[in-house]
Structures are given as structure tokens and as C-alpha cells.
Structure 1
Amino acid sequence: MTDARRQPPRDLAVDALRALALLPVVAVNWVGYASLPDGGPLGAATPAQSWLAQGWLIAIATLLAGKGITLLAFLFGYSQGLSRQARGAQADVVRRRRMGRLLLLGLAHGLLVYAGDILTLYAACGLLMLNWSRLRLRQLRRRFITLLGVELVLIVLVAPWMIHLAADEPRAVSASLATPMGWSGWLALNGWGFFVNLMGMLLLGFLLPLGLMTAGLFAARLRLFSHPRWRPALQRCARRWLGPGLALNVAWGLALWHGLRTAQPGWADVAYAFSMYVAMPLLAGLVPWLVLAAQRREAAMARLALAGRHTLSLYIGSSMLSLALLSGAGLALPLGTAALGMLALLYWSLWVALAPRWRGRLPLESWLSK
């Protein structure tokens, strides 16, 4: 059997959705960079008196915040299901090796480049669910509901405590990652921020991404994105959820913007704690519509799919640029919210435009797939 035959089949919808999911990740990471390591993922608009900056922050909070990591978690599980189908008994061995490498990359990325790294969490979840592909569909459904339910209960229980703590004992804010400083000081600040962020996610915030990965695995087992029998259900889901999902996210985005603008203690933190739940109804309407477009092999989806094969490089590349341009150890450019939003959109668009020119995998993707 050749190497080409051992590779899992490419799913155009999965690749295209993965590329789209990176736009929110890059935009939120860049716009919220100056609020790290103590704040974030988003911070107040700058300059505060600029309505253009406030408008960009509202748009990002409404349309992008929370959507990228939610969709990526689902696609992470979906890809694991595709790998299992293609590789059979060898899938666990290959997946374990890849998750080990992804974990090493995530730790290096978080400690040395960007404190808000998500690769480490995804790798840990991937290792935890290595054998879940063998579970029955009803077992996967039960785990999905349980994981999301337990995480929601934790958020509801912790939210009042977060508000009370923020109101009674305002936290001391350390220097921003964008504050000019030497490399040693910046690495110490970034590393500590990464450690705190990682511990918080592993202790309180990993159940929801794990649940979404379980849902993705469940969907892959059903061949949700490829089997013709699901097209009517996808059409109904798109019609049912797109409008209400958008309305919910507009309301939530304005609430988050209000908390960031007024610096009301605890408000923005609590609002962001529900970001992935709020993203789900919108994605439940948008993703089926995009999957149907991919099944029709529309040109835009085909172009996005080419970029979606290199999203690891796109993600690491965005962090390296933020390190060089925005960090206190780099140029520490004092860019406002609107400029950062436009630059993030430009960076992502260039990847999509240049992807058709690349042949084969980029070095990071090639190393991870070995």
C-alpha cells in the first residue's frame, strides 16, 4: 500500500470550515493582545473615543468571538473520526503520535510565543479521547450531553463568585504583553500567563471543548458532511438556526462590548464564559449552509479548502507576527482596534489567496503528519 493510500481522504467541507474558523482566532488574538496576560481574550476598544474602533469591537464580539475555537473543537473531533475510518486499527497509533507532537508544539508555542495558546488544550483532549472512536453512537451522544451539561453547571456556579470577587477585591493587573520590556522579562510574563491560562482551562474549561470534539466524532461516524441522506436535515437546520443564532450573538456581543467599554468588574469575564455556548446556535445555522455549498463544490469553498490544509502554519504564523509587531519584546506597535482588525483580516485573506500556489504540505503540517 502506498503512502497516498494510507492517508485519510480529504473532506472539502472540513478543510474549508477549518480555514474559516481561523479568521476569528486570528482577529480575536490580535485585537485582544494588549489585554494579555491578565485580561482577554478581548479588551476595550482603543482609542476609546473612536467610534470606528468601537464599531470594530462590536463586530468582532458579535460575529467572531468564541466562534473560531468552538468550530475548531468540533472539527478536531470530526477529523479524528475520519482518521479512524480511513486507517482502521492503525488510527490510534497515528493519532497518539500526532497528539504527542501537537502537545510539544503547544507547550513551546505557549511558553515562548503566545500565552493564549490553544494547541496544548486540544492535544490533551485528543489524547484523552483516543479510544472514543470505538464507542457506540449512543455512548458518544451521552458523553456529549454530560460534558456540556457539567461545564454549564460549573459556569453558572462560578459566575456569581467571579462578579463578587471582581467587585469586592479588584485584581492587581500586571504589565501587558504589549508593554515595552526586555526579552527575559517578557518571556517570564508570557510564560506565567500561559501557565495560569492552561491551569484554568484544565481545571474548569476543558469539558466544553472535549464535549464539542465528542460531537464532531459523533458527526463523522454518521458521515454528516458527506452522505447525501443528511442534506434535507442540513437544509432544515440552516433555516431554523441561522436567524435566531445571529440574533442571540448580536445581543451577547453588545453585552460583552458594554462590559469591556465600561470596565464593569466581572461583567466581561462572565459574558465570555458563555461565549462557546452562545456560538453554537449561530454555527448550527451557518455550518450546514457552508457544508451544502462545499458539497456543490462552489469555487469559494474549494479555495478555502486549500487554505484549510495549512491552518497550523496559519495559526503559528499569526502568533509569530504578533510577537514581532505587537509584543513588548518586539516592535510594540501601538495599533488601535480598527487597525488590528483590518490587519488580521488582511493576514487571513493573504493566506487564502496564496494557498492555491502551494504544492504539498508546509513544514509544520508535514512534521505533524509523520
Structure 2
Amino acid sequence: MTSAKPALPRHIELDALRGFAVMGILLMNIIGFALLEMAYVNPAVYGMSNNADTISWFLSFVLVDGKMRGLFTLLFGASMMLIIARAEAKGENAAKVHFTRMGWLALFGLAHFFLVWFGDILFLYAVIGCLAWFVADWDSDELIRKALLIYAMGFIAYLLFMGGMFYLEYLAEMAGPGSESDADYRDMLSEIAPGAAVTAEEIAKYQGSYFQILTDKLTNKWDGPLILLVMNGLETLPLMMLGMAFYKNGFMTGQWDAARYRSFGLRLVGWGLLLMLPLAWLVWASGFDPLIAINASLAWSIPSRMLLTLGFAALLILLIQKLAHHSILQRIAAAGRVAFTNYLGTSILMTFIFYGWGLGLFGQFGRAELYLFVLGTWIVMLLWSQPWLSHFRYGPLEWLWRSLARGQMQKMRVE
């Protein structure tokens, strides 16, 4: 019997990046918590009443939407490699550890979707994480090459799928009012740009009882996790693979020199903004035309999302290394160590604030005002995470996940 290898150290870069990601993802998710679902991709649907709302949409569209989720996905891939390495260092069956963790994560994700909030990404990560296992032994260069190929394939598929909306619009114009094509086009528009009646119905639903919201999910949105898997799989898998590759080549753990991080980050952010800013202008100049807005948000921005995600990661690692001993950075890293609890806890807190079973504030605020709730939640994350970890090894949900995945209660208190 071989002796176990020494335990691998923690990386402040991974912890703090995860903290930035779990805080940053709320900047995007707050729209889904507090406004109509389609306000994610078409700001004109709801919550745009003044210049502050327009500016907040612009900044979110350019800098946040898809990028914080992308950062989270990179970190998931990197953490997957770290957990596999730790399992092997302890002489454990790495495959069993990984797939058991993914199985429980999938169940957490389904519970999150049905019982708390429709915007779950955990089920998606669990399924894609299972697929990612089969490429975990590839070297970093191969992971990067194949990830970029899959990402490009996903981009093309999204262009064709979303571009079909313009073709349907063309067919409706050619066939004229009253035609079958016109009816199909109007049905599509009612989905992506709901009218006043549909808007009022959705607001009433989320301001209603918990049972009303749950029943709607079980009857009308039961396939939501599967739809997200189909729609986002070809973006999530390559980003996860890049996280795995950048763990292997030292990027995610701070092993590159500062000049390389700076050059990499500035170049990618620069190129990303060159692609993203014209898209934002196009959406605004079109008067937030629903077809242009949804295509820009979901399809046309795919290349710039990757560039900005990777560029932000590099620049954040530079910042983390520079401020590694600062008290605020230490609190952000602590928030990252309990990111699972912070992520699910945020969903519970936000749905309590906005849904009818809680304070019932759904649909009551503009986009700009919602960021006050984000700021308040960030403060909560930073205040509780570090003191908790001074007494306990894991966050509450991290402990539960780890105990379930390993089939035994884990030690919780710091000795």
C-alpha cells in the first residue's frame, strides 16, 4: 500500500477569484430575481424608465453579462482539477470522488431550480462536469485547442439558431398580415417582447404565493434545466476546459509572471471591448429592437464574452497578488471559499425580498435601483464569510455537499 502524498496547499488566487465571481454574478442575476425573465436579454421589456437605468444596462451588458458566469465556469474547471489532484494525493479513487460530487451537485441544482429560483446553473455545471472528466488527462495545450474549436462550433450554432428569427420576420413580411408566417412571427415576438397583459400576469405570479410559483415551474417550466443544458452546453464545456487548462499551466494559481498577466489581460480586454461596445451601441440605436437585443445578448456577443472573461481573470489575478494581505481581499477570498453557500444563500435572500412569499417587491424597482440590493448583499457576504471560517472548516452547504459526496460526516470545527 502506497503512502498518501502531502496535501496540496490552498491558492489565494483561486479563492479570491471565486469570491469576485460569486459577488459579480449577482450583478447579472439581480435582473432575473427582481424583473421579468426576458429583461435579461431585452432591457426594454421592463425596468427601463430613465437615464440611470440605461447606463446601468449599458455597463452590465458590456462588462458583466456572461462574463461573471464565464469566470465562474473557468473556476469550476480549475477547481475540478484541484479536487482530482487532492483525491489522488490522498490515495482515493478520483473518478468516484468526482462523479459522486457531480451527482449530488445535480440534485442540489434541481432543488435550487424548483424550490428556490429558476436561474440555476448548478445542474448545468454538474452534467458538463461529468463530460469534462473524460478530457481531464489532456495537457493544457490540447485542452485549449479543443476548447476553442468547441466554442467556435457553439458560436456558429447560436448564430444560425438565433438568426432564424430574422428569417421568420422576413417570411412574415413577405406573406403579409393574417398569414401563417405572420402568426408564427407574432407568437415569437410575444415570447421575447411580452405585452402589457403578459407582463402583468408574470408580475402577479411572482408576487403571489410560494405554491403558485412552484406550481408554475412544475407545470410550465419543468424542462428548464434541460433547456439551459442544450442552450449553454457548447459555451460551458469549452470554458470549463479552459479553466482546466489554465490550472495545469499555472495561470489560475498565479504562477505566471506579472508582465505576462498584464499583457494577456490588457490585450484580451481591449479586443473584447472593441467587439462589445459596437454591439451595445447597435442595441441602443435600434431602440432596443427585440430581435437585435436578444441576438446581441445571446449570440453576437459570444466571442467578446470569452475574451473579456479571460482578460478579467488575468487582471484580477494581478490585483489579488498585489493586495493579497489586505483585509478586504482576505474577506473576498473567504467569500470565495464558501461560494456555494453564498450562491444558494443569495438566491434564498433575493427571492425572499422580491417574491410574494417574502416581501413581494418583484417588479417594483428600476434596473439602477436594484444595484443597491447587490451592494447590500455583498456587504453581507463579506461580513459573515471570514468570521465563519475562523471557527469552521467549510461553509454550511460546502460541508453538506462534502459529507454527502463522501458518505460520511466531515469534521466541521477548526481545531
Give the TM-score band, short-chain normalised: 0.7 to 0.9
Aligned 1:146-157 pairs, distance under 5 A = 146-157=149-160
User: Structure 2 CA distance, aligned partners of 1:235 and 1:322?
Assistant: 36
Matched with 1:335 is 365
User: Structure 1 CA distance, aligned partners of 2:257 and 2:263?
Assistant: 10
Matched with 2:116 is 113
1:210 aligns with 2:212: no
The residue identity in structure 2 corresponding to 1:133 is A
Out of 292, 297, 306, the position equivalent to 2:334 is 306
User: Structure 1 CA distance, aligned partners of 2:145 and 2:307?
Assistant: 20
Gaps of 5+ in 1: none
The residue identity in structure 2 corresponding to 1:309 is R
- Aligned-pair distance for 1:138? 4.4
The residue identity in structure 1 corresponding to 2:226 is M
1:324 aligns with 2:352: yes
Cα 1:154–1:182, aligned 2, differ >3 Å: closer, same or farther? Answer: same
- Aligned-pair distance for 1:126? 0.9
- Aligned-pair distance for 1:41? 5.4
| Partner SS state of residue 270, structure 2 | helix
Aligned 1:217-296 pairs, distance under 5 A = 217-226=244-253, 228-256=255-283, 262-274=287-299, 275-296=301-322
- Number of aligned residue pairs: give it: 365
The residue identity in structure 1 corresponding to 2:278 is A
User: Structure 2 CA distance, aligned partners of 1:216 and 1:14?
Assistant: 11
- Aligned-pair distance for 1:254? 4.2
User: Structure 2 CA distance, aligned partners of 1:313 and 1:7?
Assistant: 24
Cα 1:28–1:124, aligned 2, differ >3 Å: closer, same or farther? Answer: same
The residue identity in structure 2 corresponding to 1:104 is L
| Partner SS state of residue 375, structure 2 | helix
| Partner SS state of residue 266, structure 1 | helix
Cα 1:90–1:178, aligned 2, differ >3 Å: closer, same or farther? Answer: farther
- Aligned-pair distance for 1:249? 3.4
- Aligned-pair distance for 1:336? 2.3
Aligned 1:191-206 pairs, distance under 5 A = 191=218, 194-206=221-233
Aligned 1:1-370 pairs, distance under 5 A = 8-37=8-37, 40=40, 43-44=43-44, 48-88=48-88, 90-165=93-168, 168-169=185-186, 170-172=189-191, 173=194, 174=198, 175-176=201-202, 179=205, 180-191=207-218, 194-226=221-253, 228-256=255-283, 262-274=287-299, 275-296=301-322, 297-299=324-326, 300-333=328-361, 334-359=364-389, 360=392, 361-370=394-403
Alignment RMSD? 2.8
Cα 1:319–1:50, aligned 2, differ >3 Å: closer, same or farther? Answer: same
User: Structure 1 CA distance, aligned partners of 2:263 and 2:57?
Assistant: 32
Cα 1:188–1:165, aligned 2, differ >3 Å: closer, same or farther? Answer: farther
User: Structure 1 CA distance, aligned partners of 2:109 and 2:278?
Assistant: 34
- Aligned-pair distance for 1:225? 3.2
Contact conserved, 1:103 with 1:123, CA < 8 A, in 2?
yes
- Aligned-pair distance for 1:7? 6.2
More moved, 272-281 vs 175-184: 175-184
User: Structure 2 CA distance, aligned partners of 1:258 and 1:317?
Assistant: 38
Q: Deviations over 1:11-35 (max 9, x none)?
A: 1111111111123321222223355
Indicate the structure (1 or 2) with the bigger Cα radius of gyration: 2
User: Structure 1 CA distance, aligned partners of 2:17 and 2:220?
Assistant: 30
Contact conserved, 1:19 with 1:311, CA < 8 A, in 2?
yes
Cα 1:17–1:249, aligned 2, differ >3 Å: closer, same or farther? Answer: farther
User: Structure 2 CA distance, aligned partners of 1:276 and 1:9?
Assistant: 35
The residue identity in structure 1 corresponding to 2:137 is R
Contact conserved, 1:61 with 1:254, CA < 8 A, in 2?
no
Cα 1:298–1:134, aligned 2, differ >3 Å: closer, same or farther? Answer: same
- Aligned-pair distance for 1:5? 8.4
The residue identity in structure 2 corresponding to 1:282 is L
Q: Deviations over 1:135-184 (max 9, x none)?
A: 34444234212210210110111122133447722235553266432333
User: Structure 2 CA distance, aligned partners of 1:207 and 1:324?
Assistant: 33
User: Structure 1 CA distance, aligned partners of 2:48 and 2:253?
Assistant: 46
- Aligned-pair distance for 1:366? 0.7
User: Structure 2 CA distance, aligned partners of 1:341 and 1:178?
Assistant: 23
Contact conserved, 1:21 with 1:68, CA < 8 A, in 2?
yes
- Aligned-pair distance for 1:273? 1.2
